[in-house]
């Protein structure tokens, strides 16, 4: 099979690797779509020596969507020919966290593309229990985006619970911020996007943003947010990880407002006193608990959420290195690798 492999220092190449074979409780997927995510960039930018220390070639991609091509022994939840998205975190399956649907919190958690070969390959072996049924109403591209970006956006928005009386400020217009806008639009709130890059601003306008603050053309983001609102946004969704965005959020959020933070920043960026004086609710959100997949897919179908319109670039696997160059430039919205529907 062909597979994209990171070689270090922002380089990647397509190699021929042996076809994988599913073991007990595993399935073999023929890939149809595999999304690029900001998390992939840590390995993409890593030095070669760090990647060479890994026990297997670094095949990236933790947003898989495909067709079951073969099943191993003991598999009963999927059959050959089934369309599936894949939950990208694996737990032990037996602990309290796993049983509650939070495999990403399992003490023994592993992930595709980090601990196991990822989805940027013609074929991929996954645990049968990680296969999630992709409704016929949703495309493979949407199924891939759900696996991380859309799922993360959904889980964070559920914590904010926006409604018609709310104004939601979305800081960062990358793939997760754009997914949050697309999902929030049917919820009835007013949405203000805060970000940059023409392709991302255009994508935000396609899926329901009401106002845009382009940070390259704005000297005072909190003041601009105040101009659009009475007392500041009631809700904030932070997906950029930038210290400046954290500070703008804290300065602009309305009294008793709620904020959810999706992207990490290793440095302390928030002053607590404003949160006390304004009685803010600040929350973190880390990917999507697996049980949210079914409410999410029902919501996407019921409201005809235009997730596919957020895909600005589609590449075949042979052009995977170019896909990463485009994604690394940020002059894009969502980027995916696609296979023909064989």
Predicted confidence at residue 132, as pLDDT, reads: 97
| Cα 132 off chain centre by | 16
- Evaluate whether 235 touches 160 at the Cβ level (below 8 Å): yes
Q: Among 30, 10, 42, which Cα is nearest to 111's?
A: 42
Beta carbons of 254 and 232 less than 8 angstroms apart: yes
pLDDT of residue 342: 53
- The rounded distance, in Å, linking the Cα atoms of 120 and 73 is 25
| 194: phi then psi, degrees, rounded to nearest 5 | -120, 110
What is the C-alpha to C-alpha distance for residues 192 and 336, in angstroms, rounded to an integer? 26
Asked if 4 and 303 touch (Cβ cutoff 8 Å), the reply is no
Complete domains list, the chain, with CATH: 2-134+306-338 (3.90.180.10), 152-284 (3.40.50.720)
- CA dihedral sign, ordered 245, 329, 14, 338: positive
Return the pLDDT at 6.
95
Q: What is the pLDDT along the chain (342 residues), one digit of tens a residue?
A: 999 999 999 999 999 999 999 999 999 999 999 999 999 999 999 999 998 887 677 899 999 999 999 999 999 999 999 999 999 999 998 999 999 999 999 999 999 998 899 999 999 999 999 999 999 999 999 999 999 999 999 999 999 999 999 999 999 999 999 999 999 999 999 999 999 999 999 999 999 999 999 999 999 999 999 999 988 999 999 999 999 999 999 999 999 999 999 988 777 677 777 889 899 999 999 999 999 999 999 999 999 999 999 999 999 999 999 999 999 999 999 999 999 875
Please tell me the pTM assigned to this model: 0.94
- Residue 143 has a pLDDT of 98
């Amino acid at each position: 099979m062909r597979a994209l492999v990171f070689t270090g220092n922002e380089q990647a190449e397509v190699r021929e690797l042996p076809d994988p074979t599913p073991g007990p409780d595993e399935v073999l997927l023929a890939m149809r779509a595999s999304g690029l995510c900001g998390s992939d960039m840590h390995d993409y930018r890593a030095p070669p020596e760090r990647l060479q220390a890994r026990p297997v070639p670094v095949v990236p991609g933790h947003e898989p969507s495909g067709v079951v091509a073969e099943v191993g022994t003991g598999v009963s939840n999927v059959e050959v020919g089934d369309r599936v998205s894949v939950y990208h975190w694996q737990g032990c399956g037996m602990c309290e966290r796993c049983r509650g649907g939070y495999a990403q919190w399992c003490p023994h958690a592993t992930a595709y593309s980090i601990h196991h070969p990822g989805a940027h390959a013609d074929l991929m072996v996954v645990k049968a229990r990680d296969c999630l049924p992709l409704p016929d109403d949703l495309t493979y591209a949407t199924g891939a985006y759900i696996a991380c970006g859309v799922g993360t956006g959904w889980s964070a928005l559920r914590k904010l619970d926006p409604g018609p009386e709310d104004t939601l400020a979305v800081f960062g217009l990358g793939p997760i911020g754009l997914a949050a806008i697309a999902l929030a639009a049917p919820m009835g709130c007013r949405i203000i996007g805060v970000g940059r890059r023409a392709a991302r601003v255009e994508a935000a306008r396609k899926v329901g943003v009401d106002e845009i603050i382009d940070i390259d053309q704005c000297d005072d983001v909190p003041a601009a947010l105040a101009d659009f609102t009475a007392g500041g946004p009631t809700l904030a969704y932070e997906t950029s990880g930038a210290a400046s965005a954290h500070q703008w959020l804290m300065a602009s959020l309305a009294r008793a407002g709620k904020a959810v933070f999706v992207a990490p920043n290793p440095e302390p960026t928030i002053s607590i006193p404003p949160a006390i004086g304004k009685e803010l609710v600040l929350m973190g959100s880390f990917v999507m608990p697996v049980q949210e997949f079914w409410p999410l897919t029902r919501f996407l179908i019921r409201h005809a959420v235009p997730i596919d319109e957020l895909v600005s670039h589609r590449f075949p696997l042979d052009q995977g290195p170019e896909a990463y160059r485009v994604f690394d430039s940020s002059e894009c919205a969502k980027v995916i690798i696609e296979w023909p529907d064989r």
